[in-house]
């Protein structure tokens, strides 16, 4: 399972880097130019929030420090799913 996350991470990070290089990091903002981008923006916010909540809940139930989840949440604001993929690769207890 870990190799799957690594492949996704490398592929998506390369693609995201290319897109950011070509269009600029801030070109995705504002995400509310039309209904399509608004829906995608809110969908990503909801899905990332759910993942972070489940990671927080799992670590809390196991009495582990929640700092990695907090850092993942901060990273998600700036890097999106890339930081969640890094967390999945790092935390071997998930698989």
Report the distance separating Cα 48 and Cα 95, nearest Å. 19
pLDDT band, residue 83 (cuts 50/70/90): very high
Report the distance separating Cα 19 and Cα 28, nearest Å. 10
Whole-structure pTM value: 0.84
Mean pLDDT value of segment 27-36: 78
pLDDT band, residue 27 (cuts 50/70/90): confident
């Amino acid at each position: 399972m870990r190799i799957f996350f690594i492949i996704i991470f490398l592929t998506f990070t390369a693609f995201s880097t290319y897109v950011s290089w070509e269009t600029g990091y801030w070109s995705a903002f504002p995400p509310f130019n039309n209904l399509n981008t608004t829906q995608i923006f809110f969908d990503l916010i909801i899905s990332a929030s759910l993942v972070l909540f489940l990671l927080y809940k799992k670590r809390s139930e196991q009495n582990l420090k929640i700092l990695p989840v907090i850092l993942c949440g901060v990273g998600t604001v700036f890097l999106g799913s890339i930081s969640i993929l890094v967390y999945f690769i790092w935390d071997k207890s998930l698989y």
